[in-house]
Structure 1
Amino acid sequence: AIIIPNSTQVQDLAAHRKMVFQDLENLYQTREINELIHKEIERINKSLAPHEQIKFFRLVNDEWTTANGMLSQTLKLRRAQLNKRYEKLIAAIYP
């Protein structure tokens, strides 16, 4: 799964834990943030069927909007554009 975290919440969490980071991209790559997100995913996965569960994920500092073509005018994911944009990342997650 490609996850776009709530940047404000992640920054607040990092500040609370006195984490040092250069930018959001750097922060999203830290082991501590990834472990916290992983724990939350595991908690949510318990209420999901096996085929619905997130097994692998990456955090990205991005926005999906109608302006950048990642969402349709009705706010649906434009999967072809997302697959093209994240082709290498998806290949790294699911080799």
Structure 2
Amino acid sequence: MSDRKIGPSVIVAVVPDMDPLAVRLPVAAQLTGLDETQMRDLVASGEIEVFKVGRTELVYYPSLKSFIAKAISLMIRRPRNGDADGNVVWLTGHIPHGDQK
């Protein structure tokens, strides 16, 4: 097992072939390249699942990976210059939940 530093004070233990079960919200933001406000907006909208242990808010890691996979899928399928109306496609709010497609 090796340690990898993310950000100024976050150390993530790296175990080969094993994803973490959950990460703190600031770490989830750093992993995705979003800021914490954007990550909290995704949590509030239900796009990303979180749970609390005491006062610590943890992001369910499979939910984070699923969000990114859906975002990539939408970006690949959209028309080159935007959505059907020619608008820029924003990831937040445009990812179907569950059965929706």
Instruction: Tell me the TM-score normalized by structure 1.
Output: 0.32
Bigger relative contact order (CA 8 A; separation at least 6): 1
Instruction: Tell me the TM-score normalized by structure 2.
Output: 0.31
Per residue, is there more helix in 1 or in 2? 1
Bigger radius of gyration: 2
